[in-house]
Amino acid sequence: MNNLLQGINLYLIGMMGAGKTTIGRLLALEMGYSFVDTDEVIVQAAGCTINEIFAESGEATFRRLETEVLSQICAHTRLSIATGGGIVLNQKNWSYLHHGLIVWLDAPVELLYNRLAEDKTRPLLQDPDPKGKLQSILEQRQKLYAEADLRIKLNEGETPEQITQRILEEIPSVLKNPVSADG
Ligand SMILES: Nc1ncnc2c1ncn2[C@@H]1O[C@H](COP(=O)(O)OP(=O)(O)O)[C@@H](O)[C@H]1O
Ligand SMILES: O=C(O)C1=C[C@@H](OP(=O)(O)O)[C@@H](O)[C@H](O)C1
Ligand SMILES: [Mg+2]
């Protein structure tokens, strides 16, 4: 699997709770890539949590940090990158994402809600109606996520390992210059 993408970065996009962080880490292991999570880099750089950034500086500041972090990450190669769910909102981010292969983890709202109902780390979901909020965010972003190179539809009950294998199997079908079996 080490030569699957010939060094180009893999970017995971999709809604909160779709599993970008979980699957991104597994994909890195399988491909012999390093793993980077844009949210983790932001938290390290800012020295505070995402909740604190949203509460103290606002979403616009978070989005600026996100773009700055992405611009630095994309200068590197051999990375599996888990993005934050809102990375697709800023048009400028797409110029960075398109340096690599973009994979959309496409999960239904019900599945996202089941995973995140008790979660306190996503400021956008600290809402009296988190399921309704997920639905409206997905409606806003659906067309943007659909700009990905590869769409992976997720089903309830599929393990991270199974999803990772499915992504690895589907990647060759969207590569412009696929690597041949012997090299
Ligand atoms: N395939 C899966 N099956 C069950 N739980 C999962 C799966 N993928 C992720 N999770 C869980 O769902 C939650 C959100 O996953 P995470 O990787 O943080 O998503 P994202 O980075 O897209 O927001 C975590 O608690 C994670 O352990
Ligand atoms: O969808 C969003 O706007 C966000 C998703 C989060 O990341 P995950 O998608 O990894 O949960 C994080 O970047 C922030 O809370 C905003
Ligand atoms: Mg994440």
pLDDT of 63-97, one tens digit each? 999 999 999 999 999 999 999 999 999 999 999 99
Mutation to probe ligand 1, out of 11, 13, 16, 22 (largest number of atoms < 8 A from CB): 22
Nearest protein Cα to ligand 2, atom 6: 84
Those residues whose C-beta lies under 8 Å from the C-beta of residue 35, and which sit 6 or more positions away, are 24, 25, 27, 28, 29, 79, 80, 81, 82
* Spatial distance between the Cα atoms of 102 and 170, rounded to a whole number of angstroms: 12
On whether residue 4 sits in a domain, the answer given is no
Query: Is 107 near ligand 1, meaning CB less than 6 Å away?
Result: no
Residue 1: inside a domain: no
Q: Which two tokens stand for residue 157?
A: 């009950």
Is 146 in contact with 101 (CB distance < 8 Å)?
A: no
The DSSP bridge pattern shows strands 34-37 and 150-153 to be unpaired
Q: What pLDDT band is residue 2 in, cutting at 50, 70 and 90?
A: confident
Backbone phi, then psi, for 71, in 5-degree steps? -65, -35
- Closest by CA position to 98, among listed 81, 119, 121: 81
- Residue 179, both tokens: 């690597």
25 occurs within a structural domain: yes
Residues that constitute the known binding site: 17-22, 39, 63, 85, 122, 141
Cα–Cα distances (Å) from 83 to 94, 130, 161, in that order, read 12, 21, 19
Altogether, the residues listed in the chain come to a count of 183
- Model pLDDT, residue 176: 75
- Ligand 1 atom nearest the C-alpha of 119 is 25
Residue 99 has pLDDT above 60, yes or no: yes
User: pLDDT category, 183, cuts 50, 70, 90?
Assistant: very low
Pairwise pLDDT comparison (182 vs 122), residue with the higher score: 122
Provide the residue range defining the domain that includes 34.
10-172
Does ligand 1 have an atom closer than 6 angstroms to the CB of 24? Answer: no
Q: Indicate the average pLDDT of the chain.
A: 95
Q: Bridge partners of 103?
A: 12, 150
In a domain, 3, yes or no: no
**Where does ligand 2 bind, in terms of residues with CB under 6 Å?**
16, 20-21, 39, 50, 84-86, 122-124
Does 116 map to a domain?
A: yes
State which residues have CB under 5 angstroms from ligand 3, the bound ion.
20-21
Secondary structure (3-state) at 12: strand
- Classify residue 154 by its DSSP letter: -
Cα 166 to ligand 2 centre (Å): 24
CA atoms within 13 A on the CB side of 67: 13
C-beta 26 within 6 A of ligand 1: no
Compute the distance from residue 183 Cα to the ligand 1 centre, in Å. 34
Quote the CA–CA distance of 112 and 135 in Å, as a whole number: 10
Give the dihedral of Cα atoms 53, 124, 152, 3; nearest 10 deg: 0
Which ligand ends up closest to the CA of 134?
Answer: 2
Stretch 10-17: mean pLDDT? 98
Instruction: Say which CATH number the domain at 151 has.
Output: 3.40.50.300
Residue 120 lies inside a defined structural domain of this protein? yes
For the chain, the domain total comes to: 1
Do the domain assignments include residue 20? yes
The alpha carbon of 85 and the centre of ligand 3 are apart by a number of angstroms equal to: 7
